[in-house]
Amino acid sequence: MTFPVIGMVGGGQLARMTHEAGIPLGIGFKLLSGAPRDSAAQVVRDVVVGDHRDLDTLRDFARGCDVITFDHEHVPTEHLRALQAEGVVVRPGPDALVHAQDKGVMRARLTEIGVPCPRHRVVTDPADAARFAAEIGGRPIVLKTVRGGYDGKGVWVVRSEEEAADPFRAGVPVLAEEKVDFVRELAANVVRSPHGQAVAYPVVESVQVNGVCDTVIAPAPDLSPELSAHAQEMALTIAKELDVVGHLAVELFETGDGRVLVNELAMRPHNSGHWTQDGAVTSQFANHLRAVLDLPLGDPRPRAPWTVMVNVLGGDFPDMYQGYPHCMARDPRLKIHMYGKDVKPGRKVGHVTTYGDDLADVRERAAHAAAYLRGTITE
Amino acid sequence: MTFPVIGMVGGGQLARMTHEAGIPLGIGFKLLSGAPRDSAAQVVRDVVVGDHRDLDTLRDFARGCDVITFDHEHVPTEHLRALQAEGVVVRPGPDALVHAQDKGVMRARLTEIGVPCPRHRVVTDPADAARFAAEIGGRPIVLKTVRGGYDGKGVWVVRSEEEAADPFRAGVPVLAEEKVDFVRELAANVVRSPHGQAVAYPVVESVQVNGVCDTVIAPAPDLSPELSAHAQEMALTIAKELDVVGHLAVELFETGDGRVLVNELAMRPHNSGHWTQDGAVTSQFANHLRAVLDLPLGDPRPRAPWTVMVNVLGGDFPDMYQGYPHCMARDPRLKIHMYGKDVKPGRKVGHVTTYGDDLADVRERAAHAAAYLRGTITE
């Protein structure tokens, strides 16, 4: 048997759902998890508990794996380069992944290849941030640590000199960006193989609440075919130019004058692609696996006119299972995806998807279920 | 957290795929597997290796499980009754499951509730089998051991006095049945909850080769709406009258004069329902879990006009992964489901599904992929 063994670094829900998608393929799946009760570690047979920041741990983990891939971007780039130099197959490779790890590197490279981004530059201190603000016509501006941020963490909207101090405290380089006056956020998700095949999912709308993804609508409503094709081509260009292998999420701002600007990149399955589990012919997780195994990619097309995903965040209601009977009885098409995580306020502990022909109805059903599970509504 | 723990007895592919379907629910999943490398044991975190015929093993396994369910019918009925008497929640329960374990009990009960079956009676020896043949108008007749058969094993088509000897050698009671002159085989699959909710999947056609399921077509082509509804109602009646909990597969013969007769029952996810993984709103595995957890059932409707499943049997070609690139490139909608089993000639090691609008095209794509993986064709 030559069925390969995938090693996935990181025990979060993305690894959990990637394992789920890998079971039908008959492949081996090893997990490097930070703790034995992490989301993915609860459902995977072959779990190594260890620290992804330790090179020896990574080396040991990689033995017996045919390819290493990731649930997150937090493995130090230099460790990935070391593994690669030792012959470990790392997908996406460090030269690609660094663009999802370091926002400064990402902005420089995207600008170089002509991909539209918000105006930006790395700034050295609050005074330099003030100069950047003056250059682009004034505050507010956005300051971001170039590494370590996610879900709104590591990002500050700065409206005054005083507010500009916080981002510099971590000792990480800080990127200043214009605060784009967008009409909405989109995501263009693509998957690319080592042999160069790529597929593009429909462009989706991503609705953020307090900097965290709340709702994803596939496809993005009322998006012009031209802008949709443009966004897909941009994502395919980024995947090719950065030599991405696997799933690439390109988070975009849509502006009032009909442009799209790149906000963030992620080189792994991404929250904006969860709808594909129940809404596309091939899920982002299945296609990520196919890509890192250099197998032909699956059809990315939607299976329903509209699919909506709503994240389930932790609220004050610790026992989400109690909501299952109501939600399942109310919507027999609803799919609940829970991550096995303890409920903490604001924490992403699951998501729901549903689909149908009528967008308003689909949105209502998905939003209702997520709110009910969270405990925000009780009927 | 009150997320329940399911305990599944049996480490085969049905448990493997049930675990896959359970991951999104966030439930616990424990497996009692005969060996550590069994199909399901490769992908489940919490595996107990032990003998399902041993009551103490079952007792130990059941501790910490909220409900026990099954990958197969081979747990002795008396052990299930003992567990149930001790307070273990067993679904389906032994009083239902015995009808899938013992063909004699099944035939007697179905006849009692008015469900049409082939003419039959338990026979004591070859001479008694000869009398049965005379009673129904002559051979061929079918002899079956009442327990232990599957995939054509334990079933003999008897054309002569001499051929009637074999079935009696095992020392198991033997059921004699008329050999039904059917035009094709169908399956009516339903799922039922403890609280009495039930859903019916579309009736499918099951094409057998050498007594083993080869192809399943959903829905069954050219089936009259009346006969389809009749078959679904029959399956729902059986589920209700026998107090089945979980997935019930009712294998049927369709006769030339427009009747359906029950061939076999299975009270677990079933090969004739594998198409639902990719072809129905809710898969048989997800609905089996919902049922045994007494959750509302999911929508059983198809998502495409035609879905076809073809089993992948072991051939002379041991390395099926080598076929993946060809099959995936040829049909981007194809789903391969492999079970992690070593290839042995004739053994079910996986299945493929695909779907679309044109039945001939869908059948060709699925059959091609299965034959290519098996090595029967090379281009």
pLDDT per position as a tens digit, A283-311: 999 999 999 999 999 999 999 999 999 99
Which residues, other chains included, contact A43 with Cβ-Cβ below 8 Å and sequence gap of 6+? A16, A19, A20, A340, B19, B23, B29, B44, B45
How distant is the Cα of A343 from the closest Cα of chain B, in angstroms? 9
Q: Are A36 and A102 in contact (CB under 8 A)?
A: no
Question: Tokens for A160?
Answer: 């005054």
| Closest CB from A24, A322, A332 relative to B335 | A24
CATH superfamily membership of A182-374: ATP-grasp fold, B domain (3.30.470.20)
| Coil vs helix vs strand at A347 | coil
Question: Tokens for B140?
Answer: 């061929």
- Determine if residue A178 is labeled as part of a ligand binding site: yes
pLDDT on residue B152: 67
Q: Are B56 and B32 in contact (CB under 8 A)?
A: no
Quickly tell me which residue has 């992690």 as its tokens.
B340
Binding site for ATP: which residues of B? 103, 144, 177-180, 185, 263-264
Q: Is A338 close to B303, i.e. CB distance below 8 A?
A: no
Across B308-337, average pLDDT: 96
Quickly tell me which residue has 């033995």 as its tokens.
A63
Q: How far is CA A281 from the centre of its chain?
A: 20
- Count the neighbouring beta carbons within 10 Å of the beta carbon of residue A157: 12
Question: Tokens for A370?
Answer: 């997520």
Over 70: is that where the pLDDT of B217 sits? yes
Nearest Cα residue to B25 out of A315, A47, A43? A43
Q: Between chain A and chain B, how many beta carbons pairs sit less than 8 Å apart?
A: 124
Burial class (CB in 10 A: 0-12, 13-18, 19+), B356: middle
Q: Are B280 and B200 in contact (CB under 8 A)?
A: no
- Count the neighbouring beta carbons within 10 Å of the beta carbon of residue A125: 12
Best B321, B331, B354 member to test A by mutation, with max A CBs in 10 Å, is B321
Residues from chain A that touch B42, judged by Cβ atoms under 8 A, are 28, 45
pLDDT on residue A176: 97
How distant is the Cα of B370 from the closest Cα of chain A, in angstroms? 14
pLDDT on residue A108: 97
Topology classification of domain B5-90 = Rossmann fold (3.40.50)
- Count the neighbouring beta carbons within 10 Å of the beta carbon of residue A98: 20
pLDDT on residue A152: 67
Q: Are B253 and B260 in contact (CB under 8 A)?
A: yes
Question: Tokens for B289?
Answer: 């879990």
Q: Are A250 and A188 in contact (CB under 8 A)?
A: yes
Across B157-166, average pLDDT: 91
Beta strands B335-338; B212-218: pairing state: unpaired
Best A44, A45, A191 member to test B by mutation, with max B CBs in 10 Å, is A45
What's the pLDDT band for B151 if we cut at 50, 70, 90?
Answer: low
Across B60-69, average pLDDT: 97
How distant is the Cα of A241 from the closest Cα of chain B, in angstroms? 24
| Coil vs helix vs strand at B222 | coil
Residues from chain A that touch B350, judged by Cβ atoms under 8 A, are 26
Nearest Cα residue to B5 out of B87, B68, B92, B83? B68
Across B256-278, average pLDDT: 97
Question: Bridge partners of A191?
Answer: A199, A247
- Determine if residue A311 is labeled as part of a ligand binding site: no
pLDDT on residue A317: 86
* Low-confidence spans in chain A with pLDDT less than 70: 1, 149-152
| Closest CB from B1, B320, B342 relative to A318 | B1
Residues from chain B that touch A303, judged by Cβ atoms under 8 A, are 303
Burial class (CB in 10 A: 0-12, 13-18, 19+), B77: middle
Distance CA B204, CA B185 (A): 9
pLDDT on residue A170: 83
| Coil vs helix vs strand at A184 | strand
Q: Is A328 close to B20, i.e. CB distance below 8 A?
A: no
A328-332, B102-106, B209-213, B333-337: least confidently modelled range: B209-213
Beta strands A5-9; A67-70: pairing state: parallel
Q: Is A342 close to B1, i.e. CB distance below 8 A?
A: yes
pLDDT on residue B295: 98
Residues from chain B that touch A296, judged by Cβ atoms under 8 A, are 325, 328-329, 332
Q: Are B291 and B245 in contact (CB under 8 A)?
A: yes
Is the ipTM higher than 0.90? The answer is yes
Question: Bridge partners of B150?
Answer: B153
CATH of domain A119-178: 3.30.1490.20
Over 60: is that where the pLDDT of B134 sits? yes
Tell me whether domains B5-90 and B119-178 share a fold. no
Residues from chain B that touch A318, judged by Cβ atoms under 8 A, are 1
Beta strands B155-158; A46-49: pairing state: unpaired
Annotated domain spans of chain B: 5-90, 119-178, 182-374
Q: What is the CA radius of gyration of chain A?
A: 20
| Closest CB from B2, B297, B332 relative to A322 | B2
Over 60: is that where the pLDDT of B1 sits? no
How distant is the Cα of B329 from the closest Cα of chain A, in angstroms? 5
Long-range contacts of A357-363 (CB under 8 A, 24+ apart): A357/A304, A357/A305, A357/A306, A358/A306, A359/A217, A359/A221, A359/A305, A359/A306, A359/A308, A362/A306, A362/A307, A362/A308, A363/A215, A363/A217, A363/A308
What's the pLDDT tens digit per position in B15-62? 999 999 999 999 999 999 999 999 999 999 999 999 999 999 999 999
